[in-house]
Chain A
Amino acid sequence: MIFMILLLPWLPMLAALGILLIPKGNEDLLKKITVAICSVTSVMVLILFFQFDAARTGYQFVYRFDWVPELGITYQVGLDGINLTLCLLHALVSFAGALVSCYNKERLKEYLFFYLILTGAIYGVFTSLDMFFLYLFYETTLIPLYPMIGIWGSKNKEYGAMKLTIFITTGAVVALFGILLFYQQTGLHTFDLIQIQRHLASHPLPLDFQHVVAPLLLAGFGVIASLWPLHSWSPIGYAAAPTSVSMLHAGVLKKMGPYLIFRLAIPFMPEGIRHWSGPLSVLAGIGIIYAGYAAIRQKDLKFIVGFSSVSHMGYILLGIAAMSPAALSGAVLLMFSHGVMAACTFGLIGFMYEQTHARGVSDYGGLSVTTPFWAVCFIMASMASLGLPGFSNFASELLIFIGSWSRFPIIVSFAVFGILVTALYLLRMVQQICYGPVNPKWSKLRDIRTFSERLPFVLLLGALLLFGFWPQGLLKIIEPAIGVLLP
């Protein structure tokens, strides 16, 4: 099993270097390699998922070797319930995204090159257990994003790409500052998370240090988790990005922010987070309501979904602020659910945009008649997004509300109200797009027909339904991991 977890980040990266050698014209081979690599990594994640022993606490499949002994940098991998869940999310989304990427027409080779680098780097973030490599992979994801959005994007793409890159980098460097201070403070001269955890269990960090450094990590990683008011890169960036980048970014990359908070801030600086949980919960609450209202006013489909994802990330951040086992488990489950849902929605919008090059809500109408399969998927994804029972989003939001009620009753009431706002813009969007009179301009739209076109959406929605009816499937591995984080 160890070799699989070691290969997860490096296989896509090596494949990326490999496809540089394939001539540009051979598009078939390029596509086959990309899809093959993404399926192989996804299957490896599935195997790891089934091999994972839910009864055991602590990290599994741990492997470690010294990288730079002088500074205590190790290359260490391992999985617990949290990053395994996120690996599963990435496995699903990266596979679906690879299939979608193949419809790209221009400069396909370069696109797939960047796509594979991005995929590998994300696996790197979700498997590493060393602060240095966590950060290294985290920032590596930035390399491909700028050209991917800049070259293959649409509408205001240069501005969107630059804004997204600079915002996320600024967040990342602020967090890195926190990491450097943390490294210095522990006095262990190691970046090895397991070793640090063992040491801090008996020697917790001084309180005033936690109070100073925890907000650095929260704000730094909060940027990519689109914490209000640092969210403004997100709708613009997603609107500009090509389909599979929106899928990966809204689906998976955004979850790296909360994940790194789970990995670095919650276990090591719990008092720091509790100290700042009041402001954090208020910001999360504002984000939920504000982004919801902003979504109501949007006319562009991708902006609606972009703001909607900002709003949903607010629930995750609220769960983190609450710092109770139920809320944190709910937050992890929501990272998974929202990721799958967002990827599905962006994939569907991209499919339509390819044909019509129109993204306005009012450009469409009656799609349930012209393209029934697409409409069914779109309605299902929207229902998942507004938290309909039966989709895993419902279970996770419920857990967050239950877990944070006792600490922030007022904000939770606002957050519950936020679901109403969500329902408002989503139902309106569904109504205008899928029902009503057919726009004569698009009476001959092509539906999602072939197997390889349908597969990504069936997989993503299937996962949402599966874990909607059986949340225990994920919670049974998440909850013990949360138990370790919060002693």
Chain B
Amino acid sequence: MNLSLLIPEWTALGVLLVLLIGEISWKDFSRKYSGLVSLAGCGVVFLALLLGRNHYGSAFSGTFEVTPLSVFFKMFFILTLAPVIQMARDSFENSMKNPGEYLLILWCTLIGLFFLASAKDLLLLFISLEIVTLSFYITAAFLKKDLMSIEAGLKYLILGSLASAFLIYAISLLYVMTGTTSLDGIRTASSILNPPPLMMLSFVFLIAGVGFKIASVPFQLWVPDVYEGAPSPTVAFLSVGSKAAGFLIGLKVLVAGFPFLSKELTLLFSVLAALTILYGNLGALLQTNVKRLFAYSSITHAGYLMIGIAAGKVSGVQALLFYLAAYGVSNLAAFSVITLVGKALKNDRLETYKGLSQRSPYLAGMMFLALLSLAGVPPLAGFFGKFYILLAAVQAGLSWLALLGLLAVSISLFYYLTLVKKMYIEESVQTSPIQVSSGSRVLLAVLALLIIVVGLWQAPLLSWAGQAAASLF
């Protein structure tokens, strides 16, 4: 057994241990050092991933495997975690006694995500998913004195448990049918037999479980409330990391596990994608709270990502991965601004953003860039993401879906530009400048650079995504 495949996981566990020991041993550790240690930890885990990036194989008798796809997702997760940690530092470091607790839970989430990326067995997959989801319950309800936050945590807990129940039921049905929980085993067992009705039932339950994580219609109802109430760093992680985890399960289980159902999957996902895009777009039009606005916007993006699964094949998955990365950087940049503004002005209403360009040109500029990228305006990352995923849809014969996705871009411009209007055109009553910590300045600059570079020089990320996508099939 090749334990060196688990080096990134070992490293992440190591960081978690360091944080834990620090938390216990020094009184000031939580407030003064935990954030920096976490950021440094991100760097170390990133290096570990980078050094082992061409080192593929499987361990634990085939339940754990490292493929280009899992490396892609692990890179994605660690690069998502770093901005989230910075946001957590901005929101909690000065206002809380033990901000380190929050970071500890973030690292637990990351470890769950890492195992999820490598799981080759449904049980390991389920357990790591539960680690992720449980940590999110805690971080969503982290502001113990804030009713909204507790409500968000509770709502997420109740609906999330339901989704988990669906998943575990689907897994047990699969076990009954095939006598195995290994994904390979299910794949081979199911491709011999005609799909029996129970298999279809478990397929539907799997879609319900995945749909909850990625926030697709009709499993999206929790999103606006949870996003509104939960602390901003949690929402950022939820909207990027957790959504990516949902798509990861979708790819591994639905796309790779049920190749014989690919026609049904295409039909189902293209219809759901269309509904999700429309629901998110129309819901976002009239929002007055910026986090609710981004909740609906994240539903829309889930719809676009689902087009990638509907389009299927390597090109569809490749487009999905590219879109995910583009959406990730843009959304993280937007949430960094939301965190900073929310922290400074104690308010997440859209009105708060009035005159932001005067109060902090830097934050307004970064938000503008992130919004344009999310709307899919060139030459930014989001544009190429949309372009390629819609091209993949056309190539897969889903022209109607591509047209719908394109027209939805104009709708989404309306609400993204409404926020731009607040920031740039409308005047604010207060004009006191907003302070931005130097850490966040650097973070935002890096994210902005990524948005522009990925948008203009697409080839490297695209070929990496292609390699990862090819390893799925």
Contact = CB atoms under 8 A, between A and B. Distances in A.
Interface of A: 67-71, 73, 132, 135-137, 139-140, 142-143, 146-147, 150-151, 157-158, 162, 165-166, 169-170, 173-174, 176-177, 180-181, 183-184
Contacts of A150: 420-421, 424-425
Given A70-B459, A146-B417, A180-B402, A136 B383 contact: yes
Nearest to A150: B425
A271 B466 CA distance: 38
B372 A169 contact: no
B395 A142 contact: no
Given A70-B462, A142-B377, A173 B406 contact: yes
Nearest to A171: B410
A25 to B, nearest CB: 14
B409 A68 contact: no
Interface string B387-404: 110110011000100110
Which residue of B378, B403, B421 has the most chain A CB atoms within 10 A of its CB atom? Answer: B378
A24 to B, nearest CB: 9
Nearest to A180: B394
A165 B424 contact: no
B377 A139 contact: yes
B379 to A, nearest CB: 6
Contacts of A183: 391, 394
B24 interface: no
Interface of B: 368, 372, 377-379, 383, 387-388, 390-391, 394-395, 399, 402-403, 406-407, 409-410, 413-414, 417, 420-421, 424-425, 458-459, 462-463, 466
Contact of A71 (B383, B391, B420): B391
Contacts of B414: 162, 166
Given A70-B466, A140-B377, A173 B459 contact: no
A27 to B, nearest CB: 16
Contacts of A135: 378
Given A165-B413, A181-B399, A136 B379 contact: yes
Nearest to B452: A17
B425 A67 contact: no
A132 B387 CA distance: 9
A325 B140 CA distance: 67
A166 B410 contact: yes
Given A67-B459, A146-B417, A184-B394, 10 more contacts: A139-B377, A140-B379, A157-B425, A162-B414, A169-B410, A170-B407, A173-B406, A173-B409, A177-B406, A180-B394
Which residue of A135, A158, A162, A180 has the most chain B CB atoms within 10 A of its CB atom? Answer: A180
B391 A143 contact: no
A405 to B, nearest CB: 37
A109 to B, nearest CB: 10
A143 B372 contact: yes
Contact of B413 (A67, A136, A169): A169
Contact of A177 (B403, B421, B466): B403
A321 B185 CA distance: 62
Contacts of A70: 459, 462-463, 466
A73 B406 CA distance: 20
A136 B459 CA distance: 16
Contacts of B372: 143
Contact of A68 (B394, B425, B462): B462
Contacts, number: 81
A264 to B, nearest CB: 16
Contacts of B399: 177, 181
Which 3 pairs from chain A and chain B are nearest by CB? Answer: A173-B406, A170-B410, A136-B378
A252 B29 CA distance: 61
A147 B368 CA distance: 10
A184 B420 CA distance: 36
A22 to B, nearest CB: 14
A335 B413 CA distance: 29
A176 B421 contact: no
A67 B459 CA distance: 7
B318 to A, nearest CB: 9
Given A176-B406, A184-B394, A139 B424 contact: no
Contacts of A174: 406-407
Given A68-B459, A70-B463, A143-B372, A180 B417 contact: no
B121 to A, nearest CB: 33
24 contacts: A67-B459, A69-B459, A73-B458, A137-B378, A140-B377, A140-B379, A142-B377, A143-B372, A151-B424, A151-B425, A157-B425, A166-B410, A166-B413, A174-B407, A176-B387, A176-B390, A177-B399, A177-B403, A180-B390, A180-B391, A180-B394, A180-B402, A184-B391, A184-B395
B458 A68 contact: yes
Which residue of A68, A69, A73, A183 has the most chain B CB atoms within 10 A of its CB atom? Answer: A68
Contacts of B417: 146, 162, 165
B395 A147 contact: no
A166 B412 CA distance: 10
Contact of B402 (A132, A137, A143, A177): A177
B458 A169 contact: no
B105 to A, nearest CB: 39
Given A71-B391, A177-B402, A139 B383 contact: yes
Contacts of A67: 458-459
B214 to A, nearest CB: 24
A132 B455 CA distance: 13
Contacts of A71: 388, 391, 462
A315 B404 CA distance: 32
B424 A147 contact: yes
B406 to A, nearest CB: 4
A158 B414 CA distance: 12
A73 B403 CA distance: 21
A114 B388 CA distance: 27
Contacts of A146: 417, 420
A68 B322 CA distance: 13
Nearest to B409: A173
Contacts of B379: 136, 140
Contact of B421 (A132, A158, A180, A184): A158
B73 to A, nearest CB: 21
A150 B388 CA distance: 31
Nearest to A216: B403
A48 B43 CA distance: 50
A146 B410 CA distance: 13
Contacts of B387: 132, 176
Contacts of A184: 391, 394-395
Contacts of A177: 399, 402-403, 406
Contacts of A147: 368, 420, 424-425
Contact of A140 (B378, B410, B420, B424): B378
A67 B455 CA distance: 12
Contacts of B388: 71
